[in-house]
Amino acid sequence: MSEVMMWVEANPWLCAGIALVLLGLVWLLLSRRGRSAPARDYHDVLSEGAGPAQRNSALIDAPPAAAFVVPIVADAPLLVRGDDLTRIKGVGPKLSRVLGDLGVTSYAQIAGWSEADLAAIDAQLGVFAGRPKRDAWVEQAVLLAGSDTAAYEAKFGKL
């Protein structure tokens, strides 16, 4: 047997890996073949007959392309990145989504709740009613909003 065949028999997994990589490269090359090049929408100055200096100056002087515009739908909720409410004991991912739907997104909001606010939110929590008072969300939120991790963990346990 030749040395190549002995090497292949000694390293079957390496050979299989190399074969897979080569097959992937062939697949990529063949899949790109069917695609057409993007259409060019240049001015006449940018045609093949123009010199490099003319093409560069035409590109520099050209008006900027339209910016990518995201339409704003009046009824669509705005995505607001708030605090991770699941750090509050008793608030899981589902309850965090419910609170987000109610507009509650930060510890500071919860920390500022009065008894009337607690009652109003509690009435809208459905199956989770009673959790804000029972789990002392306001106390937890005050400590989390103030970044007092030591006091939080002393009273409510590890974060």
Position 87 confidence tier, pLDDT thresholds 50, 70, 90: very high
Question: What pLDDT does residue 73 have?
Answer: 47
Are 4 and 66 found together in one domain?
no
- How many whole angstroms separate alpha carbon 69 and alpha carbon 90? 40
Q: What would the pLDDT profile of 38-64 be if each residue is shown by its tens digit?
A: 555 445 545 555 566 666 666 566 655
Closest CA to 148 of 140, 59, 1: 140
Looking at the 3D structure of the chain, how many domains does it have?
3
Residues 129 and 113 in one domain: yes
Instruction: Confirm whether 29 is domain-assigned.
Output: yes
Q: Please, which pLDDT band fits residue 76 given cuts at 50, 70 and 90?
A: very low
Query: Does 93 share its domain with 152?
Result: yes
* pLDDT in the model for residue 69: 46
Distance CA 155, CA 142 (A): 12
Mean pLDDT of 65-78: 48
